[in-house]
């Protein structure tokens, strides 16, 4: 039912890419790797193909999809009124993990944008994604390739687990590079608004673009508003079956709280995992029940392991996961956005 193609991430075998591209052109669904997470792709200009994405993921119909291109010039075919600063920014930032929301042209189907007058566009920095889009000869609409509400997939196995039997092709090229989804910028506003923090940090963006950005309150992962700017913001996301408890605040206090809660639930007979960094693990001196999520010295390691670790809670049938919080700056902002959305409970210590 689903064709699985193992592909080299750096030098993708062109015959395999062409097989997948042909299926895309005929209106099929192809899951493929990007530098952030795996995407679930369909021909962005074919409304029927795009509708199949929503079915395969159980995605709410009012959540619009990012369109992926392989050449910067394709941007002008899909959107109107590209501000000068965006033209300059994509020269520097594409290919890469930044998505710009702009006013759409008629050619972009309403199915892609969930009826919005804007469309989100990005050029991914992954050889497999770029080759696939090029061979398909058209832009590819692709949300993350997980079942709606589940953690995004960062390995081929994650995609196979969620999507086998639901899509035509899964291209497996191993683990993705960043592990969290692209930074989404609303470029129809001035100052521009960060709708979703990602691997390209707000600090870096401001420096490159030479503008201050606003951060949408929902991008911090906390406030809930009824008419969000990015419709995807209002749904529970990234949630494992296990109950995830996020401990925020001063790091010394956080470590103390982690231990208290760990032993409290252990004494109630629960299966509890600690999603903690190498540094925290060393300080706490615990080795059992630890899912190491990276190092505080380089938060990109935490971003990369984040979704894999959330999925591991369920793979190993934990009842509860306890996770440490991070500072709301740099890539920490992207990590906290995902953790706060995934958490059943947030404790401020």
Site residues, ligand TXA (CB under 6 A): 34, 36-37, 39, 63-66, 97, 99, 101, 113, 116, 118-120, 124, 142-144, 181-182, 184, 195-196, 230-232
Query: Which of Mg ion, ligand TXA, none has residue 276 at its interface (CB below 5 to 8 Å by kind)?
Result: none
Q: How far is the CB of 101 from ligand TXA (least distance, A)?
A: 4
Least gap, CB of 4 to Mg ion (angstroms): 21
Encoded tokens for 33: 């790797």
Whose Cβ is closer to Mg ion: residue 277's or residue 305's?
305
Q: Which residue is nearest to Mg ion (CB)?
A: 144
**DSSP three-state, residue 101:** strand
Chain positions contacting Mg ion, by CB under 5 A: 144
DSSP run (H or E) holding 105: none
From CA 239, how far away is CA 241, in angstroms rounded? 7
Picked from Mg ion, ligand TXA, none, the partner binding residue 195 (CB below 5 to 8 A depending on kind) is ligand TXA
**Cβ-contact 322, 273 below 8 angstroms:** yes
Q: Are 338 and 150 in contact (CB under 8 A)?
A: no
Among ligand TXA, Mg ion, none, what does residue 120 contact (CB within 5–8 Å per kind)?
ligand TXA
Which of ligand TXA, Mg ion, none does residue 184 bind to, with CB < 5 to 8 Å depending on kind? ligand TXA
Q: How many CA atoms lie within 13 A of 308 on its CB side?
A: 22
- CB closer to Mg ion out of 206 and 314: 314
Three-class secondary structure of residue 137 per DSSP: coil
The angle subtended at Cα 264 by Cα 342 and Cα 343, nearest 5°, is: 5
Tell me whether residue 57 or residue 296 sits nearer to ligand TXA (CB atom): 57
Would you give the DSSP letter of residue 152? P
User: 124, 177 in Cβ contact below 8 A?
Assistant: no
Shortest spacing between CB 144 and ligand TXA, in angstroms: 4
Minimum Å distance from CB 301 to ligand TXA?
A: 18
Residue 175 CA to residue 36 CA, distance in Å, equals 10
Chain position whose Cβ is nearest to ligand TXA: 232
Q: Are strands 193-196 and 169-172 parallel, antiparallel or unpaired?
A: unpaired
Least CB distance to Mg ion at residue 34 (A): 12
- Residue 110 is encoded by which pair of tokens? 């309403």
Out of ligand TXA, Mg ion, none, what residue 163 binds, judged by CB under 5 to 8 A for its kind, is none
Between 126 and 296, CB nearer to ligand TXA = 126
Least spacing, CB of residue 195 vs Mg ion, in Å: 13
Distance of CA 101 to the CA centre of its chain: 16
Strand, helix or coil for residue 140 = strand
Based on CB atoms, which residue is closest to Mg ion, 59 or 243? 59
Q: Which does 39 bind (CB under 5 to 8 A by kind): Mg ion, ligand TXA, none?
A: ligand TXA
| HSE of 2, CA atoms in CB hemisphere, 13 A | 19
CB of 97 to ligand TXA, least distance (A): 6
């Amino acid at each position: 039912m689903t064709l699985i193609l193992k592909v080299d991430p750096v030098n993708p075998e062109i015959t395999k890419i062409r097989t997948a591209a042909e299926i895309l052109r005929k209106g099929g669904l192809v899951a493929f790797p990007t530098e952030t997470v795996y995407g679930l792709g369909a021909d962005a200009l074919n409304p029927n193909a795009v509708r199949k994405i929503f079915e395969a993921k159980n995605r709410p119909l009012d959540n619009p999809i990012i369109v992926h291109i392989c050449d910067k010039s394709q941007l002008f075919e899909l959107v109107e009124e590209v501000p000068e600063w965006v033209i300059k920014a994509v020269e520097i930032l594409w290919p890469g993990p930044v998505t710009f929301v702009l006013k759409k042209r008629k050619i972009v189907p309403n199915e892609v944008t969930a009826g919005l007058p804007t469309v989100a566009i990005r050029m991914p920095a992954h050889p497999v994604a770029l080759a696939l889009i090029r061979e398909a000869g058209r832009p590819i609409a692709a949300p993350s390739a997980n079942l709606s509400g589940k953690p995004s997939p960062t390995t081929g196995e994650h995609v196979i687990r969620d999507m086998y039997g639901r899509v035509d092709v899964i291209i497996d090229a191993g683990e993705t590079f960043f592990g969290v989804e692209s930074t989404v910028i609303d470029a129809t506003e001035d100052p521009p608004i960060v709708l979703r923090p990602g691997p390209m940090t707000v600090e870096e963006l401001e420096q490159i673009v030479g503008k201050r950005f606003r951060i949408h309150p929902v991008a911090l992962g906390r406030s809930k508003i009824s008419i969000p700017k990015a419709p995807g913001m209002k749904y529970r996301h990234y949630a494992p079956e296990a109950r995830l408890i996020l401990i925020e605040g001063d790091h010394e206090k956080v470590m103390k709280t982690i231990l208290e809660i760990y032993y409290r639930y252990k004494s109630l007979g629960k299966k509890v995992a600690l999603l903690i960094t190498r540094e925290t693990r060393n300080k706490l001196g615990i080795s059992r029940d630890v899912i190491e999520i990276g190092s505080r010295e380089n938060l990109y390691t935490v971003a990369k392991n984040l979704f894999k670790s959330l999925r591991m809670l369920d793979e190993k049938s934990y009842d509860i996961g306890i996770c440490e919080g991070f500072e709301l700056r740099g890539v920490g902002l992207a990590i906290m956005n995902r953790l706060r959305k995934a958490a059943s409970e947030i404790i401020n210590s």
